[in-house]
Amino acid sequence: MHTTVVERELELRLILSPEYSVPVPARLTYLADDPYAVHVTFHIDSGRPVYWTFARELLVEGVFRPCGHGDVRVWPSKADGRSVVLMALSSPDGDALLEAPTAQVSAWLERTLRAVPPGTEAGQLALDDGLAELLAR
């Protein structure tokens, strides 16, 4: 079975202090067969990429207003006169504050919303097929 994949490469900024940030190449990935989630791959200098997965709805809402709590928080902001989306990520390995260009994130999100419109996510999961397969055993 073929699944729809929506990807976007972009450069984020890792905010180290109010005066200093470094570029972080990243890839946003959305898979129609995992319709509630967005996957972000950060390519840092560690030799291995860092992967984060969180709710698509969180990123959609975070473009417009602060949202989230705990490990992932997202909110709109301005940086040097540009609209940006800030993502605060927390894990046992550490915390990161990342800045993404709003226009690029929004354009990618629109593509994901066309692929799987809000409210239709459950239909992508094929739960009935999976349940039938389990019960057939």
pLDDT per residue over 88-108, tens digit each? Answer: 999 998 899 999 999 999 999
- Round to whole Å and give the CA distance between 8 and 38: 11
- Does position 131 have pLDDT exceeding 60, yes or no? no
Average pLDDT of the segment spanning 30-57:
90
pLDDT per residue over 78-90, tens digit each? Answer: 998 999 999 999 9
Domains within the chain, CATH numbers bracketed = 5-136 (2.30.31.20)
- Round to whole Å and give the CA distance between 59 and 72: 10
- Round to whole Å and give the CA distance between 136 and 29: 34
The mean pLDDT of the chain is 89
pLDDT of residue 44: 78
- Which residue has better confidence, 121 or 65? 65
% of the chain at pLDDT higher than 90: 66
pLDDT of residue 121: 75
pLDDT of residue 3: 80
Provide the pLDDT confidence category of residue 127 given band limits of 50, 70 and 90. Answer: low
Q: Which residues pair with residue 31 across a beta bridge?
A: 5
- Round to whole Å and give the CA distance between 103 and 92: 31
CB 98 within 8 A of CB 24: yes
Long-range CB contacts (within 8 A, 24+) of 112-116: 112/6, 112/30, 112/38, 112/56, 113/60, 115/4, 115/6, 115/30, 115/32, 116/4, 116/30, 116/32, 116/35
